Structure 1
Amino acid sequence: MGEAAVSPPPGTPGVVRFRIDADEPGVELYQRLAPGVGVAAVEPEGTWTTFLVCAAPCDQTIDGRAGQHFFFGGEGFSNSSTFRLDKQTGSITAHVRPAKTILRNLGLGFTFGGATAALGGGFALGYGVLKSNETIAVGGSISLGIGLAHLIPGILLLAMSGTRFTLGSGPVDAALLHF
């Protein structure tokens, strides 16, 4: 006969009662796993194997004593940065403001498209000036301007495209974050 898992005593660091308070439905808590286990997901830092822990409102006891990395995500949402629970005790409420993946996708499109147009326009402008070709110089100037006009909002969209959260009643403790 197998032995039953022993629950750690209350107050054990890393074992917490976890609740998700989200601005929108569909927010989920994930845990990173070793390669080859679970479902692959793309996060800001790359591709990791992950496991769905719970969905909002969650209200579950979570054992993070091993220093696992957790993050928030969900269908149509950008993933949050990761955090650990190994030093936390008691009850934790995560206040989550999910960001739509469409913001990230638009930001990437505007940023890369704008950078490409600006770079090409800059080269064309330089070539046109070097060769005293006004047509190429004007075209390069226009492309450079359009590229910069797209690059700036693209960067702003990327900056706003991350799911944000706080643990407890205050901001996330910087020591819990792992980038």
Structure 2
Amino acid sequence: MIRSLLLAIGLSLAALPASAGFSFANIDGGTIDLDDYKGHPVLVVNTASRCGFTPQYDGLQALYDRYRDQGLVVLAVPSDDFRQELSSAEAVKDFCAVNFNLTLPMTDITHVKGTQAHPFYQWLRDTKGFEPSWNFNKVLLSPEGQPVATFGSTARPLSRKITSQIEAMLK
């Protein structure tokens, strides 16, 4: 469906820039390299532990559980850019494990907006005009690494507008 729409307006996925080459510090140590997810749709979500949208972690985990075996990756990117994150990666990891039993991949605390934004978020801003305006903004990347859709904080992870796009990429 997405490919058809792009072709109808005269674009191909190859014409769009890809998210290749970006890596994040992993909350568990080491790095998370987006190149490792080539061939898989990826939902990247900037998160925070003390936000009114924090209960969305349940939905993100459920989304990951539902589609993980088909190839979906859900990547949580904790950020304190909106002053609602805990003070350390260890505290974030513990909070998410105890309160949400998260098993999805998670980065270390990362800047997602402004001049200090992680290069991935700078790339999104420069190529899609998208910069998170609050916590729990979502970016869906195609299996080729192109940004396909962005969703604001109020978009629930299991909403049809998100799952329908994921399902189209998993077929």
Q: Give me the TM-score of the superposition, normalised by structure 2.
A: 0.28
- Return the structure number with greater strand share: 1
**Could you tell me the TM-score, scaled by structure 1's length?**
0.27
Question: Taking CA–CA contacts closer than 8 Å with sequence separation of 6 or more, which of the two structures ends up with the larger relative contact order?
Answer: 2
Larger Rg: 1
